[in-house]
Amino acid sequence: MKPARDISRLIEIMAALRTPGTGCPWDLEQDFQSIAPYTIEEAYEVADAIERGDWLDLTDELGDLLLQVVFHARIAEESGLFAFPDVVEAITSKLVRRHPHVFGDTKNLTPDEVKAVWGQIKAEEKAERRLRRGITEAQEPKGLLSGIPHALPGLTRAVKLQSKASTVGFDWNDARLVIEKIKEEIGELEQAAEAGHHAEIRGEIGDLIFAVANLARHVDVDPEDALRVTNAKFERRFNHIEKTLEARGRSLTEATLAEMDALWDEAKARERQS
């Protein structure tokens, strides 16, 4: 079986990998649950390639992410649930349905009007899903926050919870108030740390991170993205420490904290000059 530029070949390869007796033993033992973490990982690797501006790598990572979609669809097809064409039909139908200003007769909408139409269409879709599943609105989970997936990364889910609550006015109206809240949470964390109660410390750290995510939302910054940038910065500066020490014939374990701090400041200064 040869590679190709056609999506149908990828579907054929996935089917071959999942064929009992002749397929891949590892692929054959996978299910939705075991593959889900890989799906999330591949999405992050796509974001990482974009962050690095590595377009060759992005090509590969998008392929890996597409494989995850095909993998899930194949498992579903084997179980008689749905197949890859159903996935394509579902997303194309949704895109056409949610963009009547592009594919329908509704024209010349403002961005706010587009958002309002989008919300109305989503509500109609939700009602249709209830009908297909044979459940009533009363049987569906209630609560403003009930529709936010629990499997989202913590920072992303925190922002979505906060954004949803803000739609009914439960929100700070000034970013400076959020900063004061962060200071308050730091004080509570200090008290918990002094008391040495691990459960309280964990809770206060969670409260602090939640408040920082709230500040990021108020100043229109994606906290996940901000943390990725900081992680990369830390890695870059630490690599400078390691490489400089190596050039001096020293290892990390041989260096003093003061020596590493000086090299950290050196890396920081170089970044400011570049």
CA pair distance 223, 212, nearest whole angstrom = 8
CA pair distance 156, 220, nearest whole angstrom = 13
For residues 105 and 15, the model is more confident at 15
- Are the C-beta atoms of 34 and 75 separated by less than 8 Å? no
CA pair distance 70, 19, nearest whole angstrom = 15
CA pair distance 144, 171, nearest whole angstrom = 14
- The region that residue 143 occupies, defined by phi over 0 for left and psi between -120 and 50 for alpha, beta otherwise, is left
- Amino acid letter, 80: G
Q: Which CATH number fits domain 7-98: 1.10.287.1080, 1.20.120.80, 3.40.50.300, 3.40.50.150?
A: 1.10.287.1080
* CB-side neighbour CA atoms (13 Å) of 148: 17
Distances (CA, A) of 205 to 90, 219, 222: 41, 21, 19
Question: Average pLDDT for residues 231-237, to the nearest whole number?
Answer: 94
Residue 43 makes CB contacts below 8 A (sequence gap 6+) with 65
Q: Tell whether the model's pLDDT for residue 128 goes beyond 70.
A: yes
Q: What length does the chain have?
A: 274
What pLDDT shows up at residue 51?
85
What pLDDT shows up at residue 66?
98
**pLDDT band with cut points at 50, 70 and 90 for residue 136:** confident
Per-domain residue ranges of the chain? 7-98, 106-140, 154-221, 224-273
Residue 151 has what DSSP assignment? T
Q: What are phi and psi of 146, to 5 degrees?
A: -70, -25
Question: 7-98 and 154-221: same fold?
Answer: yes
Q: Which CATH architecture has domain 154-221?
A: Orthogonal Bundle (1.10)
pLDDT above 70 coverage of the chain, percent: 98
What pLDDT shows up at residue 161?
96
What pLDDT shows up at residue 1?
67
Q: Tell whether the model's pLDDT for residue 190 goes beyond 90.
A: yes
pLDDT in tens, 140-153: 667 889 889 888 88
